[in-house]
Each structure stands twice: as C-alpha cells, then as structure tokens.
Amino acid sequence: MAERIFIFDTTLRDGEQAPGYSMNLDEKIRMAKQLETLGVDIIEAGFAISSPGDFESVEAIAGAVERPVVASLARALKKDIDAAWNAVKKARHPRIHVFLATSDLHLEYKLKISREEALRRIEENVTYAKSLCDDIEFSCEDATRTDLAFLAAAVEKAIECGATTVNLPDTVGYSTPDEIKAMVMYVKEHVRNIDKAVISMHNHNDLGLAVANSLAGIEAGARQIECTVCGIGERAGNAALEELVMAMKTRGDKFEYTNGIVTEEIFRTARLLSNTTGVKINPSKAIVGDNAFAHESGIHQHGMLANKKTYEIMTPESVGVVKTSLVLGKHSGQHAFSKKLEELGYIVSKEEETSLFQDFKNLCDKKKKISDRDIVALVEAKENPERTIWALESFVVNSGNHMTSTACMTLKKISDGKLYQEVAAGTGPVYASLRCVEKIIKHPFSLDEYQLQAVTEHKDALGEALVKVTDSSGTYRGRGVSTDVVEASILACLNAVNKMLCEQEGAIRGADGVNTATKLSFENDMLFEHTDKKGEE
C-alpha cells in the first residue's frame, strides 16, 4: 500500500503573516472551510498569543471545521501554550504546535541561551503542552542550519516528552534538496525514538527551492508537508500546496504516495485566496496562474490539436479549471443563473441568489457577453447585507481635463432608511467621490491603496476596484465592480468603510489587519523581547 503524506496547511498562519495577506475573521473562517473541502489534514489556524484577533480566529476555526486537525502555533513558553490550547481546545482534533530555534546562530544571538538551556526548555514546554493536548507538534526552528547531532538531541527530547510530529524547518530557505535529504536521513538514523513521531517538512522559498526541498524530504522519509495555498508566507513564502500535490500526482511514477487532497478543488481555493486578499495570482504561477494551461504558440496549438499529451502534462480539469458549459446572456433565467453559480462552486442562499440575479440582469443591460469572470466578480464584490451601514443610492460626477472635478452623492443609511447628500470637489472624479463619502459618513479615513482593473477584455468590460482604507482602528479592504469605474471605486470604498464602521460598532469583530499594530510577528517579537532579557523567551 502506498504511504500517506499528511498535508499541513499554514496559509492562515505563516501565509497570513505575509504583508498584504491579512484576512478578517469571516474571511479566515471561509478560507478554513474551503481548506477542509480541499482535503488538507491539518489547518494551522494562527498564532493564538500573537493578538486577540488571532486568538479569536483560531478559536472560531476550531469550531467551524470538523475533519481536519486544527493547530495553533506557540513559542516554547507556558503563556503561549496556554493561549494555543485555549484557542484550539474545542476543535474536534486539536493540536498545539510548539517551536524553539535550535541553530547556534538563533540560540546565541536571538534567544541568548545555551544548547543545554534549549533542551531544558523543550523538555519543560513539550511536557507541559502534552499535559493539555494529545497531539503535539514540535518544530526546531532553523533546523537546516542546526548542528546535526544537536538537532537529533532536540528531536529526541521532544519525542520523549510527548511530541507526535517533529518538524525540521528550512526557516530561511537556504537548503538544497540533497542537504534536506541528508538531514532527514540523519534524524531517522540517530534519533532513538523517531518511530514514535511523524517527520515534517516546512520549507521556505527564498531560493525558489521550497517545493523541491519538500519533495526531497518526502523521499528521505518525511510524511507531513507544511505548505500554503499559492506558496504565500514569510518573505518569499512557503512551499506551494498546489505545486507539491500536483507534482506528486503528475509524477506518481516517482512519488508513490497518497494524500487526501481533492485536486479538483485547487483552483477554487487559490481563487478564493486571491479574491479574499485582493492579491492577484501571477499569470505564470504553476498550476493556478491564468497561463498555466494556455497554449499560445502555433507549434504548441498544433501539437495540442493532434494529441493533448504533446504539451499538457496534467489537465486543467484535474485542478478544477473547468470549461463551463453554460453561456449566460440577457435571456437567461434565474434557473440557468443558479446552475452557473453551482458550476462556479458558489453555495448561496435563495435570497443571495435572487439579489445576485438582479445584479446579473442589470449587467446584461450594459454588457452583451457575460463571462464566468464577470459572474465571479459580481459574487465576490457582493456586499453582505448584515454588514451594510451605508449603501450607494446615486451619484453624479463632473470632470474634464481643464477643470476641478466635482461629485454629488446620495447615500442611504440602512439603520434609519434616510438619504444623505453631499457635494465635494477633488483633483479627479474618484477623489471628489470619495470625499463625498467621507463627508456623509462623518468619519475620516485615508486611502492607502487603490487598484483598478478590467475583469475581462473588450470596451464594455466590468471594472473592478480594490481599495485599502485606514482609520485609527486599522486597515480595511474593499472591492467594487461596475461597468462605470467611478461607481466601482465608490462601491469599493463603501465596502471597506462598512467593514470599518461595523468593526467600531462592535457588530463584527476582527478587521483586516486590525491588529497589525499590536500583532507580533514572532521573529520581531523575539528579537525585541530578548534584547535585554537574557535567556528568557
């Protein structure tokens, strides 16, 4: 029987730590549920001690998924382990993931402790974690730059104290596949109790070797791989889940292992991540980029027509890129629309469907051909009615190349149903419109990022605006789509503003990056905490 590789997904922890990828509570829960559908074995839901927001989302994810193990990261510190346990304990399958650096470089300069002290801390903290939870993972941070004999001692100690998974991260993405293989083999040979734990790989991509290193680790005996959707993560990111899984599937002749991933869910998961965070997938990204299955050159097209295998090593369908059958237009009814949503993987309530169908019909009046990408954009930009405080009623802008732009806008306040109107001037129509929003809602904010792009080709394309706005409570993302780019911009701004105001009214908790000021990136925190507190983590 082929051996099983456990897929440990850290999109919501290592991935979310990366700039631009922060998600709010609802978004994290949605992502976690999609990861469950994707079939990952373990979801690392966050780093509970790092911020109240992280704690809350780990706890919420623990309650939201059924099948996967839910893990929280913890430094080898009692307070971290307590926070991790409190956050995951309601999960059906909880795990505490304790880590401590083991390389001399980290011990000497970051932690300022000796190897003996490191072993003592492993013993104390893994034992403590084990007293709370059965499933304990221990990571030797910077394992690939750790003296091998000491690495073996650390791993052996962790297993002795109850760790059932031992992770050997290439924290700085420095190793090569042959070195990873040698490290795993060394640990297998020199750790007396290694048969009592699963060896795990966690490779960063600083030299672009994360996936190759993870596969090398598997060949040497690792049975758990830590990875993220689209390879997001600290600095250059982590090993990309989709690349690892498809490498194993496509090259099953070399990698005779099984895993639980439903590969047909890969594309949908990557799209969800991109739509949630507003970070576009690189078109050339392996497996999930727009060009991953595009064959432009004549020679390739000729070959593909003769036999797809000439240039296609895996099918788009195998990763969930479906060529959909239904083409929608002006005359399509709600039934066909509903089928299309289903085909695209959206599960929506009847009310949501009816409201989206109305948006679709409005779009049909403005645009002849409605593509799947248009429908995805409509769904992804849909305001959540429960979180709508202000809605756009109408606007007029006046702008030209030799004048100051002006905007007149009417917004509806949902709580009292009243209409509020303002006029404002600005150096362009978007600026003037956003000033109107600010004047009406009477809440100052700054616009930190603004992106505008066409959803599809052609002159009548939908415009999609993505914004990031900030006030004193945090940063909030918004998305808006319309065939009118000014309207798309206003909708995106209102989307972000609604999140911001909801957060302040306490209607929802956990905003996009709301805790960025207090959330600790564990590396910085450690450096900071250790500068003057010798030896104490």
Contact footprint for ligand KIV (CB under 6 A): 14, 73, 99, 139, 141, 167, 169, 171, 202, 204
- Taking the complex as a whole, how short is the minimal distance between the CB of residue 147 and ligand KIV, in angstroms? 17
Whether 98 contacts 129, CB under 8 Å? yes
Indicate the residue among 11 and 399 with the shorter CB distance to Zn ion: 11
- Taking the complex as a whole, how short is the minimal distance between the CB of residue 247 and Zn ion, in angstroms? 20
Q: Which two tokens stand for residue 410?
A: 């009417």
Indicate the residue among 71 and 500 with the shorter CB distance to Zn ion: 71
d(CA 45, CA 64) in angstroms, rounded, equals 11
* Residue 453 β-bridge partners: 464
Whether 187 contacts 194, CB under 8 Å? yes
DSSP 8-state assignment for residue 368 = S
Whether 398 contacts 513, CB under 8 Å? no
Among the residues of 255-316, which ranges form H helices?
266-277, 298-306
- Taking the complex as a whole, how short is the minimal distance between the CB of residue 485 and Zn ion, in angstroms? 39
Indicate the residue among 99 and 390 with the shorter CB distance to ligand KIV: 99
- Taking the complex as a whole, how short is the minimal distance between the CB of residue 506 and Zn ion, in angstroms? 33
Alpha-carbon torsion 227, 229, 231, 233, what sign? negative
Please name which of 75, 73, 66, 1 lies closest in space to residue 32, comparing C-alpha atoms. 66
17 binds, among ligand KIV, Zn ion, none (CB under 5 to 8 A by kind): none
- Taking the complex as a whole, how short is the minimal distance between the CB of residue 102 and ligand KIV, in angstroms? 10
503 binds, among ligand KIV, Zn ion, none (CB under 5 to 8 A by kind): none
Indicate the residue among 47 and 337 with the shorter CB distance to Zn ion: 47
Contact flag: residue 44 with Zn ion (CB under 5 A): no
Per-residue contact string for residues 1-20; x = within reach of Zn ion by CB under 5 A: -------------x------
Indicate the residue among 171 and 406 with the shorter CB distance to ligand KIV: 171
425 three-state secondary structure: strand
Indicate the residue among 14 and 487 with the shorter CB distance to Zn ion: 14
Contact flag: residue 170 with Zn ion (CB under 5 A): no
Please name which of 74, 119, 103, 259 lies closest in space to residue 169, comparing C-alpha atoms. 103
DSSP 8-state assignment for residue 237 = -
- Taking the complex as a whole, how short is the minimal distance between the CB of residue 307 and ligand KIV, in angstroms? 43
Residue 85's contacts (CB-CB under 8 Å, 6 or more residues apart) are 72, 94, 96, 129, 132, 133
- Taking the complex as a whole, how short is the minimal distance between the CB of residue 51 and Zn ion, in angstroms? 18
Indicate the residue among 93 and 204 with the shorter CB distance to ligand KIV: 204
Indicate the residue among 14 and 36 with the shorter CB distance to Zn ion: 14
In the numeric block, the tokens 């956990």 are attached to: 510
Indicate the residue among 99 and 395 with the shorter CB distance to ligand KIV: 99
- Taking the complex as a whole, how short is the minimal distance between the CB of residue 172 and ligand KIV, in angstroms? 8
Indicate the residue among 234 and 503 with the shorter CB distance to ligand KIV: 234
475 binds, among Zn ion, ligand KIV, none (CB under 5 to 8 A by kind): none
Residue 334's contacts (CB-CB under 8 Å, 6 or more residues apart) are 353, 354, 357
Q: Describe the chain by its helix, strand, coil percentages, rounded to 5.
A: 45, 20, 35
Whether 530 contacts 537, CB under 8 Å? yes
139 binds, among Zn ion, ligand KIV, none (CB under 5 to 8 A by kind): ligand KIV
Indicate the residue among 199 and 356 with the shorter CB distance to ligand KIV: 199
Burial 8-40 (b: 16+ CB within 10 A, else e): bbbbbbbbbbbeebbbbbbbbbebbbbbbebbb
Contact flag: residue 142 with Zn ion (CB under 5 A): no
Phi/psi region, residue 46 (left: phi>0; alpha: psi -120 to 50; beta: rest), is left
Indicate the residue among 18 and 363 with the shorter CB distance to ligand KIV: 18
- Taking the complex as a whole, how short is the minimal distance between the CB of residue 92 and ligand KIV, in angstroms? 23
- Taking the complex as a whole, how short is the minimal distance between the CB of residue 234 and ligand KIV, in angstroms? 6
Whether 193 contacts 159, CB under 8 Å? yes
Number of residues that bind Zn ion (CB under 5 A): 1
- Taking the complex as a whole, how short is the minimal distance between the CB of residue 141 and Zn ion, in angstroms? 8
383 binds, among Zn ion, ligand KIV, none (CB under 5 to 8 A by kind): none
Rg over CA atoms, the chain = 25
* Residue 370 β-bridge partners: 328
In the numeric block, the tokens 């909708």 are attached to: 491
- Taking the complex as a whole, how short is the minimal distance between the CB of residue 94 and Zn ion, in angstroms? 21
Residues 244 to 303: which contact Zn ion by CB under 5 A? none
* Residue 238 β-bridge partners: 204
Using CA atoms in the order 267, 344, 462, 501, what is the torsion angle rounded to 10 degrees? -80
Q: Which residues bind Zn ion (CB under 5 A)?
A: 14
